[in-house]
Amino acid sequence: MKLLLDFLPLLFFFGAYKLYGIYTATAVLMAATVAQMAIIYSIDRKLQAMHKITLALILIFGALTLTLHDDRFIKWKPTVLYAALAIALGVAVWGLRKNFLKLLLGSQLTLPDAVWMRLNGAWVVYCAFMAAINGYVAAYFSTESWVNFKLWGYAFPLVFIVGQGFYVARHLKSEPAPGKDSDAA
């Protein structure tokens, strides 16, 4: 259910674009993202920092797109978001010696520090790649091509997240089953 919730604004954006064009699609994306965040907030009683940043960027870049009637703003929003994430994760880990991934997920996953460092590095590279590829498509292709890229380009995050899952699974410490004595053999 939560995965579907993550993709709903994009699906609404794509549908509105195909039916009505980029400006209606931008307004739909803004409204769908506000609704999405309201649902997440009603379920979790809070929004993660990433949710707040995404919402703010969509509202700011969407408002600029609609006010100035210039689709470049909404097309460049993902590049700004991914670049900011890459920079923030890189500066945090290599400049401030803080691993934000571990700070955010460490209570849910027990992993060695070296694995957290590799995960953080992988996220920096992934976010930089996504910023670059979106920027390239936004700059050199039509709006129609960019919208199609946004829809079909979701293969990148899915592959990355699945790959991360396989990598993390190899390093998770297995817990003994409840009621079993792990020393008895």
- pLDDT at residue number 173: 66
Contact residues for 167 (Cβ-Cβ < 8 A; gap 6+): 115, 118, 119, 122
At residue 12, does pLDDT exceed 80? yes
Q: Which amino acid does the sequence have at 37? A: M
Question: Which phi and psi (to 5°) does residue 6 adopt?
Answer: -65, -30
At residue 164, does pLDDT exceed 60? yes
CA angle at 138 for the pair 65 and 119, rounded to the nearest 5°: 105
Torsion of CA 32, 11, 82, 24, to 10 degrees: -60
At residue 73, does pLDDT exceed 80? yes
CB neighbours of residue 163 within 10 Å = 12
- Conformational region of residue 184, where left means phi above 0, alpha means psi within -120 to 50, and beta covers everything else: beta
* pLDDT 10s digits, 108-142: 778 888 888 999 999 999 999 999 999 999 999 99
* pLDDT 10s digits, 75-118: 999 999 999 999 999 999 899 888 888 887 777 778 888 888 99
Q: Which amino acid does the sequence have at 172? A: L
- pLDDT at residue number 113: 85
